[in-house]
Amino acid sequence: MNNRQLFLQHVAQTSDAPLALEMKEAKGMYIYGVDGKEYLDMIAGISVCNVGHCHPDVVKAIQGQAASYMHLIVYGEFIQSPQVAYATYLSNLLPNPLNCVYFTNSGSEATEGAMKLAKRYTGRHEIIAFKNSYHGSTQGSLSIMGDEYWRNAYRPLLPGIHHLDYNAFEALEAINHKTACVIAESVQAEAGVKAPSKDWMQALRKRCDETGTLLILDEIQCGFGRNGTLWAFEQYGIVPDVLLLGKALGAGMPMGAFIADKEIMWSLTNQPVLGHITTFGGHPVACAAGLAGAKALIEGKYIDAVNSKKELLLKHLKHPAIKDIRAVGLMVAVEFESFNLNKKVIDQCIADGLITDWFLFAANCLRLVPPLIISEDEIMKACSIITKAIDKVLTP
Ligand SMILES: Cc1ncc(COP(=O)(O)O)c(C=O)c1O
């Protein structure tokens, strides 16, 4: 059997039509197939590789840390310098009171940890989330997912969860003194890039303050520079009580985090002790990689260029078949009239050497979330491949 057959036979599948491209290596903006074909990566492993694939500083950090030590013990017991260094670095980049980092294995685990933290800290159990939100695929994060089609098969899910309309002022009345936390994406990603208004975000913050409810902002996909500022919440002039990070946090290594004030985080330490347990969370190699990636992103001033790159992309990505384009920084949804057309364009783009895909709750939208290191030439190249792909699939 060849690798493709072995993949289909022995690697658990999540759909009956995986892309099944066999890749050999990846560098910067490009991924290379075993057949030598070059692909321009316009989705960065779904908002993960903000500094591109195999950034030399990240590779060096991984090699150095792997040679010193890898797994030593479950999370939280030993002082591990890569963990301390990354948590300190993040705390220094965050506004008060976000000063204490719990590292996890994934974004979903960060969501789980934050939901548990809110229950413990407030002594309440009701949670409010929003329609069309995505916070992960475990049962807790599925319970707060804002789409019945995707969560229905797993009922019964957690009780006490309410889903409100996102960006709707009247919905905020539902937040009350029984609500442990409100969890919202700073920009809804899987909904097809939907940003709330600044006024609404400020009203949400105010309502949480009035009711003693923790505000959890999920920046697992939209954070870490993708929206044009290091933290997406900066654009609303608010600070959450708990911040969720993942994806780009590990610069290509598996990693998530929930971050809060030390005083709030302290509630995981007693009655019962070990309020959230993880064996591999905060793995030293992932922390070393994440820190190197974060430094490369910030010191390379890539975030400063995000909005001008967005403008360039919007200027050149024009076609009559495109119904709408929503972009917040380099998080872009290109809307077509149907999933059918979108899927044909995606397949054509891939055939023509550009990696893209669709959104979970917006299947008629093509996803563009490239590494933030993308150059102006590569943006022009991407626009050209996409518009030509649309022409090709529309040509009878
Ligand atoms: C906004 C958001 N939250 C949470 C998650 C879950 O992260 P992970 O897949 O690392 O568990 C994702 C993943 O796509 C996400 O986009």
Cα 41 to middle of ligand 1, angstroms: 19
Cα 219 to middle of ligand 1, angstroms: 9
Can you give the pLDDT of all 396 residues of the chain as single tens digits? 999 999 999 999 999 999 999 999 999 999 999 999 999 999 999 999 999 999 999 999 999 999 999 999 999 999 999 999 999 999 999 999 999 999 999 999 999 999 999 999 999 999 999 999 999 999 999 999 999 999 999 999 999 999 999 999 999 999 999 999 999 999 999 999 999 999 999 999 999 999 999 999 999 999 999 999 999 999 999 999 999 999 999 999 999 999 999 999 999 999 999 999 999 999 999 999 999 999 999 999 999 999 999 999 999 999 999 999 999 999 999 999 999 999 999 999 999 999 999 999 999 999 999 999 999 999 999 999 999 999 999 998
Q: What CATH number does domain 3-54+301-394 carry, 3.30.9.10, 3.90.1720.10, 2.70.98.60, 3.90.1150.10?
A: 3.90.1150.10
pLDDT of residue 396: 82
Q: Which amino acid appears at position 162 of this protein?
A: H
Cα 109 to middle of ligand 1, angstroms: 9
Ligand 1: residues with CB < 6 A are 46, 106-108, 111, 134-136, 185, 189, 218, 220-221, 246, 256
CA distance 241 to 74: 26
pLDDT of residue 34: 97
Neighbours of 395 (CB within 10 A): 6
Q: Which atom of ligand 1 is nearest to the CA of 188?
A: 1
> From atom 4 of ligand 1, which residue's Cα is the shortest distance away?
135
Structural fold of domain 56-299: Aspartate Aminotransferase; domain 2 (3.40.640)
Reduce the secondary structure of 296-351 to three states and give it as a string.
HHHHCCCHHHHHHHHHHHHHHCCCCCCCEEEEECCEEEEECCCHHHHHHHHHHHHH
Domain boundaries, the chain: 3-54+301-394, 56-299
CA distance 145 to 47: 19
pLDDT of residue 87: 98
pLDDT of residue 179: 98
Phi then psi for residue 288, to 5 deg, are -65, -40
Q: Which of 193, 220, 357, 369 to mutate to test the pocket of ligand 1 (most atoms within 8 A of CB)?
A: 220
Bridge partners of 244, per DSSP, are: 218, 258
pLDDT of residue 84: 98
Q: Which atom of ligand 1 is nearest to the CA of 246?
A: 10
Supply angle C-alpha 17, 21, 256, rounded to 5.
85
